[in-house]
Amino acid sequence: MFKKFVPILLPAFLLGACVSPGENLTETTEVPLVELREGKLIYHLYANQGEAEKENILPDFSYAGYKGGGVALPKAEVVITLSPVAGDNSVQIQKALDKVGAMEPNEEGIRGAVLLTKGEYTLERTLYLNKDGVILRGEGQGEEGTILYDAQKVKNSCLILGSSSYSLSEIPRTRSSITSPFNGTGSREVTLASAEGYAPGDTIAIVRTPNKFWTDDLEMTQWGWEGASYNLSYERTVTAVEGDTISFDIPLVDTIRSEYGGGYVYKTRINAPVQNTGVESLRFESFYRSSEDEDHGWAAIEMMGARNCWVKNVTARYFGYSTVNISKESAFNTIQDCAYLDGKAKITGGRRYSFAIQKGTGNLFQRCYSDEGRHDFVTGSRVTGPNVFLDCYSRVSHNDSGPHHRWATGILFDNISTEELNVQNREDSGSGHGWAGAQIVLWNCDLTKMIVDAPKGAMNFAIGCRGQIGEGKWNSTDPRGYFYSHGEPVPTRSLYIRQLKDRLGEGVLAHVFTESQLSGTIYEELKTWAGAY
């Protein structure tokens, strides 16, 4: 077992200096992990847990969000307007959504919006937003706005955005093994047995194929982990081909090494049934019998196979699970200015996951608020990054935020204020959660407590975060991750905002962020708002 080290405070002008695992506790390195030079971030190599070689860099998370980040959400014209009727409204709303879904899309892929005027719409059935370019819009998420009242007396999702999981289907005879023996986190290239037939612009899947040596080395075999069940596919786009080396746009968020099973690449067709679809300016409320009732609305919105979609200005109250739950593979979506209030369900496992990614890549949650949740900002099993939670706040949380179980990779928690945010080895919890995440970054978070441990051959990070540093709840001897500037935020307020600016330029920032976000933290603003308007 590797020696656990204590984070050491370094001078404030460094943005990411650290103590490496096993390093003498009286020494520090003067080389920052990330630093700002001449108006741009400069990255320095770091070593993974239990390793001496510095072969990794912090990933670029800026590709998370609608259409890969930096793109303004569309403004769709209203083509159908509805008002509430007595009794069940689900039929009239569904007919309107289907009618718009049959219209011709414009050049941006938008068909039009169904507008629900102010008032309460009782729903006896789940709504399905399952056609490209259709927007469901209300006239406000406050108590005087448009309220969708989920009256179903069984566990349900009130609205499903999507129709099934998207898949990275393999184009026959394009698979090629990765031959480069070590491909570090942050890398944008791999070498293949043959890159013949690959060209810039190709959409590819990079597949990591862990073996039993990997699960043994992480001491996860004892918790039921099998290497083949961790074959994870990461969608990328080829940017260059030189010999048998291919370069791609979004950097790796996990290492691929031959001794741990290596991996392969194939060209892919993306099967995504729903794109350019959104939910806007609505309030969802659920029927419930008691504070522990579980036969009622569970998720206000469930995203399934949604790509380049959005949910904005939505408040959900009294739901047992979440405001937005990404339950199947969904990619490059934005969820913003949303709130989860007064969850009604038992306070135990599998409940009150306010904003959750169960499967999906490239998703951005920003400016979200939670009250009476459990796992407020959370990912599930084997979630493939990059994914980002930015500028989010929870008032009363009955458990921790963070990666919840089974090797989620490449998640940024950027300026999150909550009680606990943990990245740890959960060992036999649940069905054998084990190491919850790798390459998880906590940046300038305001916490009561944090646990940031790191598995062998990977790393997790806490940079500029406030809060008590705790030991792993299942194994207190697990090695800590990469800490810097504990108790004092680093000058670069948001890593995501800075990375997006570096990649696409300052001009895109107004498309995505509020003026408040660009000038400082917004916790007080979120507390005052609390999803109320």
* Reduced 3-state DSSP string for 434-491: CECEEEEEEECCEEEEEEEECCCCCCCEEECCEEEECCCCCCCCCCECEEECCCCCCC
> What's the total number of domains in the chain?
1
Tokens representing residue 102 in the block: 């049959």
Q: Kindly report the pTM of this predicted structure.
A: 0.94
pLDDT value, residue 23: 35
Q: Is 400 part of a structural domain of the chain?
A: no
CA–CA distance, 115 with 138 (Å, rounded to integer): 6
User: Average per-residue pLDDT in the chain?
Assistant: 92
Distance CA 21, CA 23 (A): 6
- Report the first-to-last Cα separation within the chain, whole angstroms: 51
Is the pLDDT at 277 greater than 90? The verdict is yes
Task: Specify if 459 maps to a domain.
Answer: no
Residue 134 in any domain: the answer is no
Q: Please compute the mean of the pLDDT values over residues 76-80 and round it to a whole number.
A: 98
How many C-beta atoms lie closer than 10 Å to residue 8's C-beta? Answer: 18
Task: Give 164-200 pLDDT, tens digit per residue.
Answer: 766 789 999 999 999 999 999 999 999 999 999 999 9
103 falls within a domain: no
Between residues 103 and 272, the one the model is more confident about: 103
- Residue 200's nearest CA partner among 265, 252, 247, 266 is 247
**Calpha distance 524→520 (Å, rounded):** 11
Q: Which of 31-35, 104-108, 207-211 has the lowest mean pLDDT?
A: 31-35
pLDDT attached to residue 250: 98
Give pLDDT, residue 163. Answer: 83
Question: Is the four-CA dihedral 511, 524, 300, 429 of positive or negative sign?
Answer: positive
Cα–Cα distance measured from residue 498 to residue 483, given in angstroms and rounded to the nearest whole number: 20
The CATH code of the domain that includes 226 is 2.40.30
Give the model's confidence band at 14: pLDDT under 50 very low, under 70 low, under 90 confident, else very high. Answer: very low
Domain that holds residue 244: 169-271
Task: Give the length of the chain.
Answer: 533
Residue 228 lies in a domain: yes
**Cα 420 from Cα 401, distance rounded (Å):** 6
Q: Per the domain annotation, does 439 fall within a domain?
A: no
Look at residue 4 and tell me whether its pLDDT is greater than 90: no
d(C-alpha 373, C-alpha 340), whole Å:
7
Would the CA dihedral through 517, 523, 525, 529 be positive or negative?
Answer: positive
Tokens, residue 101: 């879904």
Q: Does residue 362 belong to any structural domain of this protein?
A: no
pLDDT digits (tens, 9 = 90+) for 32-73: 789 898 889 999 999 999 999 999 999 999 999 999 999 999
Query: Cβ(346)–Cβ(399) under 8 Å?
Result: no
Average pLDDT over residues 422-451: 96
Tell me if 19 is assigned to some domain. Answer: no
State yes or no: pLDDT of 382 exceeds 60. yes
